[in-house]
């Protein structure tokens, strides 16, 4: 929301000289109207002055440029070169002097153009960031100057190069020479042609001595269009050039001031609960209370010319739920014209563009009152009836932006008896657009249901200034004042005659909200000690009324319905920053991490101590990722929660496995040519539940690649991690059936019979699916299982007092026998003296039968109460060897 400070001053005396932008922004922000940015418009156009052209000479070094001398109100004239052909001696033009600034931060300095000094630039409309809506007379028509003719085919010119005055061109069109050029009013020039005499034209580019094409039948100087000529044939006769001013200005006047840029604009971020602040009046009220100033309310006065609107128009609301109020007035004998400069200025400064008086009035009222207005060309409203109804099946409308829109039955429309003429609250229809010959206008000032407007605007893909306001829910009481203001402006601008009477259909009138004022309760809630008188004053200044302790909430404050809302109003103006900073104490709470959170922290610490970096990945993945990791087609994990409105396929389902997320990051790092990566994430997976929600267990995901990474490195990390939590009876079992992993390099890890997770090398086919030719190693461990299995507080074990004895044994067994199984057997058979068993050598080859292998173990034995005797050691080794033979048919080598 952009607010012009000049406009604001109509309602509150707050001159810039008294309160600068920064002070204003700070005060408004802390009273609840957040200021985003302030802009001093006078910096937009700097040192651009009105100049009068004193002389024009041909540029000596150019066939299409001119050298002008200008009176810019200074002692010395200023010389400027220009390529524009539409200027004349005596014209008033905008002159960007040396060291000037144009909109968009364009800096102009002096220089030389083809060797001739040029001390600035003459400006076009565009260079001033204006359009013909700002200056309708700025539209430029170009005559075809015969001297500028360049035939498309030099061999076949349409006009001979030596043509002279009086020569026939075609039909009744002859060449004529301009012998005098004189201004004859706004955008009109009196041209004396030899020998034909005088005529008036709006072509701006004719100068004494020019040969032009003169239509003797029409007494008319021909444009390119009249000659059916292409632009390239007359390259310098263009409908563009310098803005020739017809304002009440003199040389030396400031163009910025002329455009109304002697203003400051404040841009607010208005919260959605305060649509009443999306206009000058709403912000003026807030400003007045913030600065303790008087708020000057304006009541529009309309004279009217008699008659009765009811004789012309009828309004029927068929959907009162979507249109609580529809207020309308009629204007006849409309004279469409440009708006006066003051109105254009305000419209421009508040961020819109002037169009014409009627359209500008609707925008002006919207920006002043916050009430969107619409103006219909009433001659286009069939049978003079307005029906507010939902669009019928298959109906369509061409909106003002020229787009054909298909309507659906949940869209509210303003219709005549036959067709929609407007999409309610969003945009008008082209079929009832205000055009140059519009004579009767119906002003609509209506209230529509916010969400309905928003959905319609979204569905049609056009959010407009009007819909943006409506969707926040506007005050239905505001429609009346707004339509009155529009009609007052019609009369003020002389833009038409206002017919007496107002049509006001108001099916949705709401009772006024009341709240009891309880100062003690408010103070207790805020932790303050604010006087009740202060509270009352704030409320009254904001437009609330009080009867005893009953607060009557004004209609525009739909957000206020509870005593806490009143507390906020009081607090805003008491100052949030004046509320004390104090702990009330309350009851003590213990706080702290719970066991689960501590465990998660400890897992992270353990993995980082092993060199793993933590990653964060998206919870959603692409359904194609299941194929990428070769998840079996019939896997239950393929049944993911599907986002019905995803951003794209890549983020369309909730992951049921964390593996693809890790593989994506490993792949990215690999593709970035990072030579190694050691990564972990403790992330959730999302498993569909009967009730439509999800179980969201956490998975400890580990992923790595690099020159020092192999299966046993990965196994080491997993083992070390699980040992950190004192998880008992760890065993690793080969896993050949997980299609994501290498069938010979994958294991499941168990504690006893409880599976904690899976680890291994990613299947080369999976790696290929990720476009990677490398060994990726990953582990997926269940956080919940680790948490459930983790040991308690460690209990001190006395340190050994007696020395240990070590014996190495080597046995021959089947090649396929897992060493882990043998270790289990050894530990089980070793009895109380065997403390440790470590396999240290595996040998196949010479001296060993094919299909067998030799495995060497180092056995550490110790007695807790004495130095171990040889007999005890021998007994233990024998028991171990017996068990190995019995269970695995393994014999001492």
* Subset of 437-466 contacting another protein (CB under 8 A): 450-451, 454-455, 458
Check: CB of residue 658 under 8 Å from CB of residue 697.
Answer: no
Per the structure block, which two tokens stand in for 265? 């604009």
Per the structure block, which two tokens stand in for 477? 């009481």
Please give the C-alpha separations between residue 604 and each of 345, 407, 598, in angstroms, as whole numbers.
Answer: 62, 56, 10
Calculated CA dihedral for residues 566, 569, 575, 578, nearest 10 degrees:
0
Rounded CA-CA distance 162/361 in Å is 55
Secondary structure element (H or E) that encloses residue 519, with its range? helix 519-526
Considering only 193-201, 349-357, 396-404, 643-651, which stretch makes contact with another protein by CB under 8 A? Answer: 643-651
- Three-state DSSP at 408 gives coil
Per the structure block, which two tokens stand in for 149? 């003719």
Closer Cβ to another protein, 71 or 600, answer by number: 600
Phi, psi of 306 (to 5 degrees): 90, -170
CB of 409 to another protein, least distance (A): 18
Closer Cβ to another protein, 655 or 862, answer by number: 655
Check: CB of residue 750 under 8 Å from CB of residue 731.
Answer: yes
CB of 186 to another protein, least distance (A): 42
CB of 482 to another protein, least distance (A): 23
Check: CB of residue 781 under 8 Å from CB of residue 730.
Answer: no
Closer Cβ to another protein, 274 or 853, answer by number: 274
User: In the range 653-672, which residues lie near another protein by CB under 8 A?
Assistant: 654, 665, 668-669, 672
Please give the DSSP secondary-structure letter assigned to residue 411: S
527 contacts another protein (rule: CB under 8 A): yes
Closer Cβ to another protein, 378 or 544, answer by number: 544
C-alpha count within 13 angstroms, C-beta hemisphere, residue 773: 0
Rounded CA-CA distance 780/673 in Å is 25
Per the structure block, which two tokens stand in for 61? 């070094």
User: In the range 686-745, which residues lie near another protein by CB under 8 A?
Assistant: 686, 692-694, 696
Considering only 61-69, 299-307, 583-591, 738-746, which stretch makes contact with another protein by CB under 8 A? Answer: 583-591
Residue among 465, 565, 824, 836 that touches another protein (CB under 8 A): 565
105 contacts another protein (rule: CB under 8 A): no
Considering only 436-444, 478-486, 578-586, 757-765, which stretch makes contact with another protein by CB under 8 A? Answer: 578-586
User: In the range 303-362, which residues lie near another protein by CB under 8 A?
Assistant: none
Per-residue HEC secondary structure of 666-713 comes to: HHHHHHCCCCCEEEEEEEECCEECCCCCEECCEEEEEEEECCCCCHHH
Residue among 391, 474, 679, 700 that touches another protein (CB under 8 A): 679
Residue among 76, 171, 393, 594 that touches another protein (CB under 8 A): 594
Closer Cβ to another protein, 15 or 580, answer by number: 580
From 231, 270, 235, select the one nearest 65 (Cα to Cα).
235
CB of 698 to another protein, least distance (A): 9
Residue among 90, 111, 117, 611 that touches another protein (CB under 8 A): 611
CB of 343 to another protein, least distance (A): 30
Residue among 436, 590, 792, 794 that touches another protein (CB under 8 A): 590
Draw the binding track, 233-272, toward another protein (x: CB under 8 A; -: no contact).
--------------------------------------xx
User: In the range 528-557, which residues lie near another protein by CB under 8 A?
Assistant: 528
Residue among 105, 248, 548, 577 that touches another protein (CB under 8 A): 577
Please give the C-alpha separations between residue 833 and each of 102, 534, 541, 800, 875, in angstroms, as whole numbers.
Answer: 94, 87, 91, 12, 10
CB of 368 to another protein, least distance (A): 24
Buried b (16+ CB within 10 A) or exposed e, 682-691: bbbbbbbeee
Check: CB of residue 260 under 8 Å from CB of residue 339.
Answer: no
Closer Cβ to another protein, 377 or 569, answer by number: 569
Closer Cβ to another protein, 308 or 605, answer by number: 605
Rounded CA-CA distance 65/114 in Å is 10
677 contacts another protein (rule: CB under 8 A): yes
CB of 315 to another protein, least distance (A): 25
Closer Cβ to another protein, 17 or 594, answer by number: 594
CB of 614 to another protein, least distance (A): 4
Beta carbons within 8 Å of 20's beta carbon, 6+ residues apart: none
Please state, as a whole number, how many other Cβ atoms lie within 10 Å of the Cβ of residue 572. 18
571 contacts another protein (rule: CB under 8 A): yes
Closer Cβ to another protein, 669 or 724, answer by number: 669
Considering only 349-357, 374-382, 424-432, 588-596, which stretch makes contact with another protein by CB under 8 A? Answer: 588-596
273 contacts another protein (rule: CB under 8 A): yes
From 484, 228, 237, select the one nearest 361 (Cα to Cα).
484
Closer Cβ to another protein, 172 or 601, answer by number: 601
Please state, as a whole number, how many other Cβ atoms lie within 10 Å of the Cβ of residue 396. 11
Residue among 52, 572, 763, 872 that touches another protein (CB under 8 A): 572
412 contacts another protein (rule: CB under 8 A): no
CB of 76 to another protein, least distance (A): 39
C-alpha count within 13 angstroms, C-beta hemisphere, residue 73: 17
């Amino acid at each position: 929301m952009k607010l012009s400070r000049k406009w604001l001053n109509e309602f509150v005396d707050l001159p810039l000289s008294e309160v600068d932008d920064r002070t204003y922004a700070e005060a408004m922000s802390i009273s609840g109207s957040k200021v985003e940015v302030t802009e001093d418009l006078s910096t937009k156009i700097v040192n651009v002055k009105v100049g009068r052209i004193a002389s024009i000479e041909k540029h000596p070094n150019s066939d299409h440029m001119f050298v002008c001398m200008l009176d810019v109100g200074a002692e010395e004239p200023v010389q400027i070169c220009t390529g524009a052909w539409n200027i004349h001696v005596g014209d008033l033009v905008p002159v960007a002097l040396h060291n000037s600034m144009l909109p968009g931060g364009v800096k102009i300095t002096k220089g030389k153009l083809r060797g001739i000094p040029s001390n600035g630039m003459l400006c076009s409309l565009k260079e001033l960031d204006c359009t013909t809506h700002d200056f309708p007379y700025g539209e430029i028509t170009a005559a075809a100057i015969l001297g500028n003719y360049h035939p498309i085919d030099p061999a076949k010119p349409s006009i001979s190069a030596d043509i002279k005055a009086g020569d026939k061109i075609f039909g009744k069109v002859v060449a004529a020479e301009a012998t005098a050029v004189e201004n004859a009013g706004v955008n009109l020039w009196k041209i004396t042609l030899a020998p034909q005499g005088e005529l008036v034209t709006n072509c701006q580019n004719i100068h004494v001595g020019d040969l032009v094409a003169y239509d003797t039948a029409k007494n008319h100087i021909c444009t390119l269009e009249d000659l059916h000529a292409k632009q390239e044939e007359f390259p310098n006769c263009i409908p563009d050039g310098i803005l020739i001013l017809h304002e009440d200005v003199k040389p030396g006047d400031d163009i910025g001031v002329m455009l109304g840029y002697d203003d400051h604009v404040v841009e607010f971020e208005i919260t959605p609960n305060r649509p009443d602040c999306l206009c000058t009046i709403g912000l003026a009220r807030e400003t007045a209370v913030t600065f303790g100033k008087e708020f000057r309310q304006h009541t529009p006065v309309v004279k009217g010319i008699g008659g009765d609107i009811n004789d012309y128009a009828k309004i029927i609301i068929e959907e009162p739920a979507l249109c609580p109020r529809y207020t309308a007035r009629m204007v006849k004998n409309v004279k469409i014209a440009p708006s006066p400069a003051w109105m254009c200025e305000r419209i421009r400064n508040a961020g819109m563009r002037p169009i014409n008086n009627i359209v500008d009035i609707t925008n002006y009222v919207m920006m002043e009152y916050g009430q969107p207005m619409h103006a219909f060309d009433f001659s286009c409203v069939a049978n003079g009836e307005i029906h507010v109804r939902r669009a019928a099946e298959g109906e369509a409308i061409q909106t003002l932006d020229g787009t054909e829109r298909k309507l659906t039955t949940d869209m509210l429309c303003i219709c005549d008896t036959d067709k929609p003429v407007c999409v309610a609250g969003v945009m008008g229809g082209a079929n009832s657009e205000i055009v140059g010959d519009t004579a009767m206008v119906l002003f609509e000032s209506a209230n529509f249901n916010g969400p309905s407007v928003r959905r319609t605007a979204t569905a049609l893909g056009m959010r407009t200034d009007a819909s943006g306001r409506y969707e926040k829910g506007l005050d239905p009481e505001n429609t009346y004042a707004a339509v009155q203001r529009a009609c007052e402006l019609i009369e003020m601008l002389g833009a038409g005659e206002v017919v007496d009477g107002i049509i006001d259909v108001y099916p949705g009138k709401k009772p006024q909200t009341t709240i009891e004022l309880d100062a003690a309760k408010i103070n207790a809630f805020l932790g303050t000690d604010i006087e009740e008188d202060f509270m009352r004053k704030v409320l009254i200044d904001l437009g609330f009324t009080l009867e005893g302790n009953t607060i009557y909430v004004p209609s525009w404050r739909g957000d206020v319905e509870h005593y806490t809302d009143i507390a906020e109003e009081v607090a805003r103006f008491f100052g949030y920053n004046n509320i004390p900073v104090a702990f009330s104490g309350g009851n003590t709470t213990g706080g702290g991490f719970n066991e689960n959170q501590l465990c998660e922290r400890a897992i992270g610490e353990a993995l980082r101590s092993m060199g793993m970096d933590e990653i964060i990945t998206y919870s959603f993945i692409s359904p194609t990722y299941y194929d990428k990791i070769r998840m079996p087609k019939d896997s239950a994990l393929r049944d993911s929660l599907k986002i019905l409105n995803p951003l794209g396929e890549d983020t369309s389902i909730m992951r049921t496995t964390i593996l693809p997320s890790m593989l994506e990051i490993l792949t990215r790092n690999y593709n970035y040519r990072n030579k190694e990566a050691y990564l972990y994430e403790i992330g959730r997976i999302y498993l569909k539940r009967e009730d439509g929600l999800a179980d969201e267990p956490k998975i400890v995901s580990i992923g790595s690649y690099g020159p020092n990474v192999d299966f046993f490195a990965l196994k080491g990390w997993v083992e070390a991690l699980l040992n950190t939590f004192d998880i008992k009876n760890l065993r690793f079992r080969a896993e050949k059936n997980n299609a994501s992993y290498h069938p010979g390099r994958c294991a499941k890890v168990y504690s006893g019979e409880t599976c904690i997770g899976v680890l291994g090398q990613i299947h080369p086919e999976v790696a290929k699916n990720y476009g990677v030719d490398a060994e990726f190693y990953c582990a997926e461990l269940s956080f919940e299982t680790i948490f459930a299995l983790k040991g308690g507080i460690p209990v001190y074990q006395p340190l050994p007092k007696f020395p240990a004895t070590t014996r190495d044994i080597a046995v021959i067994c089947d090649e396929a026998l897992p060493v882990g199984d043998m270790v289990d057997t050894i530990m089980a058979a070793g009895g109380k003296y065997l403390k440790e068993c470590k396999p240290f050598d595996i040998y196949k080859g010479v001296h060993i039968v094919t299909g067998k292998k030799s495995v060497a173990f180092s056995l550490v034995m110790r007695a807790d109460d004495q130095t171990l005797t040889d007999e005890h050691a021998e007994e233990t080794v024998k028991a171990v060897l017996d068990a190995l033979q019995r269970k695995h048919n393994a014999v001492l080598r």
